[in-house]
Chain A
Amino acid sequence: MHEVDMTKCLVLSMNDWRQQHNPAVPVVSQVHLQVGDFTCVEPEQLVHTWRIAVQNSWLSGAELSIEQIPLVARCVCCSSTYSPSADQAYQSPCCGHPMEDIVSGRELRIRSVDYSLNPELAPLPA
C-alpha cells in the first residue's frame, strides 16, 4: 500500500529532473531503479502503481525497470560477507554473530533515466 506514496515521491523527483531540460519536455522511455531486498518495497507493486500514476502525464509510456539488490552483510568477526536470511535469524554463518554491518540491500535509488529530446522543441546549443 505504501508503494503508492513511494510512487508519488518518485514522480516528484522526476518532475524536478524535468526542470533541467526546460523548455524541452524529455520523452522518457525508462526509469531505472535499484531496490534492495532489505526494504519494505514490493517491486511488482511499485511497477503497477507507477503505470497508473503516470497515465495522462508527461511521463505517460515511461516504463519502470527495477534491479533488485540482494541483502549482503559483513561478519564483524571475520570480515567475510554473507547473505543473511530470516530462517537463520540473520546471523553470521561463521560465528553466529548478529547482523551488524549491511553492505547492500537497503537501496531505494533512482539510478538513471533513458530519454530523448524532441529536436524541434529542444533549446539550441549554447
Chain B
Amino acid sequence: MHMPLEDTLGLNLLAANQHQAEHNREHFDAWDLLCLNVMSSPGAGKTSLLERSLAALATDLSMAVLEGDMTTQLDADRLEAVGVPVVPITTGRACHLDASMVSGGVKLLRQRLDPAGLDVLWVENVGNLVCPAEFEVGEHRKVALLSVTEGDDKPLKYPVMFREADCVLITKTDLLPYLPVEIERIEAHIRQVNPRCTVLPVSATSGEGLADWHRWVQDQLAEHRQSRAGTPALVSA
C-alpha cells in the first residue's frame, strides 16, 4: 500500500537556471566587471549598435562579447572586426541563451584572456522578444532594443521583456521621417509597463543618441563598482 504524501516546495520553476546564473554572477563580481544582457527581436539592430558602441567605448573601457546566435557565426565575425574579443555561442535550436550556455562561453573566453582585466562583458542574446526575458544569464543589467520599424504596440504585446529591462533603446531613429510612427507613443507604451527604466532613442547609422547611451553604460559601470566596493569576492578568479 502506498501512503499519499505531499511536499511543499515553493521553488522557482527555473531554479536550475537561476543557480547557474547566480554562479556566473559571482564570477563576474570576483572579476569586478559589469555584465550587460542585450536583447531584442531579430533585426532590431543589436549587432549594428554594438559595432558602433564597442568602437566608441574601447578608448576608455576593456570589453569582450559573448555572441548568441542560433546557427551562424556572422554576427561574431562582424563584431570581432571592431577589435574586441568575441566568443560565439551557437545555440542550435534554442531561441535564447541560458545561464549554462553563457558559462560555457565564459570558459572559452578565459582561454583567450583574463576576465579580471575587463570592465564590461556584453552578452548579445538571440533575437527574440519572448524567451530571453525569463532566462537570466548572470547579468547585472538588462538592455532591450526596440526599432522604430517594429511599431509602437510592441511593448504592450511583449510586455515582460520591456518590464524586465533596465534600459530600453529605441533604435533606427534615422528612419522616423519615413514611418507613420511617433517616438513619443513608443516611449509612452514602454513607460506604461516599466515606468522606472531609462529610455533612450538612438541611431547606429546617424549616431543620434549614442553619446547618451554610452554615458549610461559608463554610469552603470561606475554605479555597479561603487555598490560593490568593500564587498569581499566570493569566488577566486
A40 and B134 in contact, given A89-B192, A110-B13 (Cβ under 8 angstroms): yes
Interface of chain A, main secondary structure:
mixed
Chain B: interface residue total (CB-CB under 8 A)? 39
Interface of chain B, main secondary structure:
mixed
A86 to B10, CA, bound (A): 29
A86 and B159 in contact, given A108-B13, A115-B7, A117-B2 (Cβ under 8 angstroms): yes
A38 touches B (CB below 8 Å)? yes
Which B residues have a C-beta under 8 Å from some C-beta of A?
Answer: 1-17, 94-96, 98, 130-131, 133-135, 156-157, 159-160, 163, 188-189, 191-196
Contact between B131 and A2, CB atoms less than 8 A apart: yes
Which A residues have a C-beta under 8 Å from some C-beta of B?
Answer: 1-2, 5-6, 8-10, 12-13, 17, 26-27, 33, 35, 38-41, 86, 89-91, 97-100, 102, 108-119
One of A2, A114, A116 near B134 (C-beta < 8 A)? A2
A9 and B13 in contact, given A40-B131, A40-B133, A98-B193 (Cβ under 8 angstroms): yes
A26 to B6, CA, bound (A): 11
Contact between A2 and B135, CB atoms less than 8 A apart: yes
A40: which B residues are within 8 A, CB to CB? 130-131, 133-134, 160
Contact between B193 and A114, CB atoms less than 8 A apart: no
7 more A-B residue pairs beyond the given contacts A13-B9, A40-B160, A97-B195, with a C-beta to C-beta distance below 8 A: A5-B17, A12-B16, A98-B195, A99-B163, A110-B15, A113-B7, A116-B5
One of A12, A17, A117 near B5 (C-beta < 8 A)? A117
A33 to B95, CA, bound (A): 23
- Name the distance in Å between B193's Cβ and chain A's nearest Cβ: 5
A90 to B6, CA, bound (A): 37
Contact between A109 and B6, CB atoms less than 8 A apart: no
Closest to A116 in B: B2
Q: Which 6 A/B pairs are nearest by Cβ-Cβ distance?
A: A116-B2, A2-B131, A12-B16, A108-B13, A98-B195, A89-B192
A114 to B3, CA, bound (A): 10
One of B9, B94, B192 near A113 (C-beta < 8 A)? B9
A103 to B135, CA, bound (A): 21
Contact between B4 and A9, CB atoms less than 8 A apart: no
> 17 A-B Cβ contacts within 8 A?
A2-B130, A2-B134, A13-B11, A33-B13, A38-B159, A38-B163, A39-B134, A91-B192, A98-B194, A99-B193, A100-B196, A108-B134, A110-B9, A111-B9, A114-B6, A115-B7, A116-B3
One of A108, A118, A119 near B14 (C-beta < 8 A)? A108
A100: which B residues are within 8 A, CB to CB? 195-196
